[in-house]
Chains A and B, each alone.
Chain A
């Protein structure tokens, strides 16, 4: 019984630590299977031609997410044809944030004409594995020898209020670096965002 308690504690602690840290640049990422706004399930494995992915944890309600919606569409338009499509994931619990429900996601995706999948992290299982803490929060995945490797974590650019005024376009530069066979610099940035609820 004592052993079992100890084991449970160890597992719980390990789980907790894992949930808090998430992925770092260079880590191998796990694929997921989440429901898109069109009702179909989506995984990274569904893209046989992709060279990588621009995974963006984002949502409906957050003003920062809203401010970046057009820029996320633009990223998808620029990089899908180059092998790096956008996959957006809403990590929020609609019981706490009703504006981020699956039904509301469908409405928003239609309104804005999202060109990319907008997936619902039902049960909040995926975001803790990645270590997303806010919206929007970007993870760029590069496919290397058949494995999903995290190559950039952070912000889209350095000006949330004005896309034109941003003089550092982190995600754009990072994907271009990967396309050219290099590594992103910086590979990690921070931004203010809404906490994941």
Chain B
């Protein structure tokens, strides 16, 4: 009797594991980071062009420009271009807003959820030119850095990236 119930529990546990593994495959992994963890991505010393866009699901102009970054990510897939979409959604909106949004829009670029609320401590470290308004985009390769506190379109992104490749 004891043996049987053990097997039953094992089966239930196993199937639960399998279900969670399946759903895990379907949903995107979006790491949540504080600024210290994120900061290394702002200072990569290699020959890749990093296009780092700061956005949020509630920011209308950000949502409008996301397709341009997605297009850049696709068209430059074979080149040394790395597109990173940094969500500034409120830390408690991860499951409620960010994950469903990414799934619905089927975003393919790398996404990071920056959850460090003490923005005054880190905005200048992204760029002293940044007032804190979003959308905002940092494009850099090594020490060649450009910062834009404005909405982007694909042609503009492409022309900036081309100069750095």
| A interface residue numbers (CB < 8 A to B) | 62-63, 67, 97, 133-134, 154-155, 158-162, 168, 170, 189-197
A-B CB contacts (within 8 Å), total count: 68
Residue of A nearest to B116 (CB): A192
Contact check, A197 vs B61: say whether CB atoms are below 8 A apart.
Answer: yes
Which of A161, A190, A191, A193 is close to B91, meaning CB atoms less than 8 Å apart? A161
Q: How far is the CA of A67 from the CA of B58 in the complex (A)?
A: 13
Contact check, B120 vs A133: say whether CB atoms are below 8 A apart.
Answer: no
Contact check, B60 vs A191: say whether CB atoms are below 8 A apart.
Answer: no
Interface residues on B, range: 20 to 34
Q: Which residues does chain A contribute within 8 Å of B130, judged by CB atoms?
A: 190
Known contacts A97-B60, A133-B149, A134-B132; is-contact A192 B119 (Cβ 8 Å): yes
**A-B contact list, 29 entries, CB within 8 Å:** A62-B58, A63-B58, A63-B90, A97-B60, A134-B133, A155-B119, A158-B117, A158-B120, A159-B118, A160-B119, A162-B117, A168-B120, A190-B120, A190-B124, A190-B130, A191-B119, A191-B120, A191-B132, A192-B88, A192-B119, A192-B123, A192-B133, A192-B134, A193-B132, A194-B59, A194-B133, A195-B135, A195-B149, A196-B133
Contact check, B118 vs A190: say whether CB atoms are below 8 A apart.
Answer: no
Contact check, B61 vs A195: say whether CB atoms are below 8 A apart.
Answer: yes
Q: Which residues does chain A contribute within 8 Å of B123, judged by CB atoms?
A: 190-192
Contact check, B131 vs A190: say whether CB atoms are below 8 A apart.
Answer: yes
Residue of B nearest to A188 (CB): B120
Q: Which residues does chain B contribute within 8 Å of A192, judged by CB atoms?
A: 88, 119, 123, 132-134
Chain B residues 113 to 160 lying within 8 A of chain A, measured CB to CB, are: 117-121, 123-124, 130-135, 149
Q: Which residues does chain B contribute within 8 Å of A133, judged by CB atoms?
A: 131-133, 149
User: A189 to nearest B CB, angstroms?
Assistant: 4
Contact check, A195 vs B117: say whether CB atoms are below 8 A apart.
Answer: no
Known contacts A192-B88, A194-B59; is-contact A160 B117 (Cβ 8 Å): yes
User: B53 to nearest A CB, angstroms?
Assistant: 14
Q: How far is the CA of A193 from the CA of B131 in the complex (A)?
A: 9
Q: Which residues does chain B contribute within 8 Å of A194, judged by CB atoms?
A: 59, 133-134
Say if the beta carbon of B92 comes within 8 Å of chain A: yes
User: B7 to nearest A CB, angstroms?
Assistant: 47
Q: Which residues does chain A contribute within 8 Å of B92, judged by CB atoms?
A: 161
User: B151 to nearest A CB, angstroms?
Assistant: 8
Q: Which residues does chain A contribute within 8 Å of B61, judged by CB atoms?
A: 195, 197
Contact check, B117 vs A161: say whether CB atoms are below 8 A apart.
Answer: yes
Contact check, A159 vs B117: say whether CB atoms are below 8 A apart.
Answer: yes
Q: How far is the CA of A63 from the CA of B90 in the complex (A)?
A: 9
Q: Which residues does chain A contribute within 8 Å of B132, judged by CB atoms?
A: 133-134, 155, 190-193
Given known contacts A133-B132, A161-B117, what 12 new A-B pairs fall within 8 Å (CB)? A133-B131, A134-B132, A158-B118, A158-B119, A160-B119, A161-B91, A162-B117, A170-B120, A190-B123, A192-B119, A192-B134, A197-B61
